[in-house]
Amino acid sequence: MFEMTSNSLFRRTAKSGLTALIAATVVAAALLVHMPQAAADAGFRKWINDFYPVAAKSGIKKSTYRKAFKGVREPDPEVLRKARYQPEFKIDTWSYVDRRVHFTTIQTGQEMAKRYARVLSQIEKRYGVHRSVILAIWSVESSYGNVFNYPDRLHYVPRALATLAYADRRRAKFARQQLIAALKILQSGNITTNQLTGSWAGAMGHTQFIPTSYLAYAVDHDGDGRKDIWNSVPDALATAANLLRKNGWRQGKTWGYEVRAPRGASKYKGKSKTLAQWSKLGFKRPNGKSFPRPGEKAVLKMPAGTNGPAFLMLRNFFMIKRYNNSDTYALTVGLLADRIAGYGGLQQNWPKPKGVLSMDERREIQVHLRALGYYRGEIDGRFGDESKNAVKAFQSRSGLTPDGVPSQKLLNTLRR
């Protein structure tokens, strides 16, 4: 998802007697927005109606506005709850990466590369962005479109953005801007109100574009006359590639290199030098290979401090950040893209707490349990009730404490 800041209080304007009721009724009637007074938020309804003149100055027709807010009566409380938590800014880098770069996301990405081979070849030729990067973005943004299998987790975009504009002071300006853009999308006819869904912050479609970015970069790749990033995978993937290209993506270049940092490397953190200069300072690739273009400039990033892997980030890393202004996000996309393309993973370990399992290790537990007849669910590394019950059953049979916890001790026992 695109760059956002975090944390704000949910401010709700209470209904206050006959005066507020009459005022709300008058403005609602002016726009023919039919909202029952019971169980509705008068302050929110008033904000929606008061915002129309602003939208009108941007060319939004009254009919479009009425259509967009028909039946919208209250702020979306889930939007405000989610606005307080963004994982790429809240959790450890290794944990964020591990949840998104693992066997399932890599395998699915390679399967999608085959399924959409012709489309991806066209996109590479036209925009100069390697298919693995586009597939990695698709994975991180919507789990290759799997998000659409859970419509209850999606939000109606005009309501979500109006909620932020009304109740989240820190994001109010952003939300107003995005709301107008969303109304323009609706007015264009590219999508219907029923399909205008997205994240809590208004990011939409397979590749999660906020409305202003959709207006700037959306393309009709499949040639059906609509720029449909919700239902057309070709349109969504081409739109992502178009954003990267227009922001300066360098064709045929990688995003960065994992390096082993010499002692005292932290003093260079965030500095920019040529790869040749970094090499002279003792920064080497773990696989022993040299840098193919030593004259390129790179910035040193040490996301886990001195105890974890270091990276020399090239220009394309910062182009990925145009999608989401987070180092952790861009690193995750880069690492996943490399794995989808068939390159090896990190050669240095993250400084994880002792005993914490990776997604692939948790998946391995499920594989062993299925082979032994304890588990019949999905092999995905995610431990719901079925996985935990299988662990408990195995633990009971093996003389272990039946706590259902996927631990290193459990994995070692299964391996034996």
| Listed residue (172, 197, 182) closest to 10, CA to CA | 172
Closest CA to 156 of 114, 191, 189, 121: 191
Lowest mean pLDDT among 66-70, 88-92, 288-292, 329-333: 88-92
CB within 8 Å of 56: residues ≥ 6 apart: 62, 65
Positive or negative, the CA dihedral 183, 224, 201, 127 is negative
**Torsion angle defined by CA atoms of residues 246, 252, 255 and 259, in that order, rounded to the nearest 10 degrees:** -160
* Average pLDDT value for the chain: 89
Domains observed in the chain: 1-89+125-249 (1.10.8.350), 359-415 (1.10.101.10)
Task: Take residue 230 and report the two structure tokens written for it.
Answer: 């919700």
| Nearest-10 Cα torsion for 256, 259, 265, 271 | -10
Q: What is the pLDDT of residue 24?
A: 39
pLDDT for 231 beyond 80:
yes
CA atoms 355, 359, 362, 364: torsion sign? negative
User: Residue 326 above 70 pLDDT?
Assistant: yes
Beta-carbon-side half-sphere exposure of residue 192 (alpha carbons within 13 Å) = 3
What percent of the chain has pLDDT above 70?
A: 89
Q: pTM, whole model, 2 decimals?
A: 0.83
The Cα–Cα gap between 132 and 116 comes to 12
Parallel/antiparallel/unpaired status of strands 272-274 and 297-301: antiparallel
| pLDDT (tens digit per residue) in 72-86 | 999 999 999 998 876
Which pLDDT tens digit goes with each residue over 242-284? 999 999 999 999 999 999 999 999 999 999 999 999 999 999 9
* Model pLDDT, residue 207: 97
Q: In this predicted structure, what is the pLDDT of residue 359?
A: 85
CA gap 410, 414 in Å, rounded: 6
Residue with token string 């490399």: 338
**pLDDT computed for residue 27 by the predictor:** 38
Most confident of the following: 85-99, 121-135, 394-408: 121-135
Confidence of residue 87 (pLDDT cuts 50, 70, 90): low
Q: Is the pLDDT of residue 357 over 90?
A: no
Instruction: Name the residue with tokens 């405000």.
Output: 80
In sign, the C-alpha dihedral spanning 107, 112, 118, 120 is negative
Q: Judge whether 336 and 329 are in contact, CB under 8 Å.
A: no
Beta carbons of 368 and 141 less than 8 angstroms apart: no
| Distance, CA of 115 to chain centre | 22
Angle at 3 between CA 139 and CA 10, to 5 degrees: 110
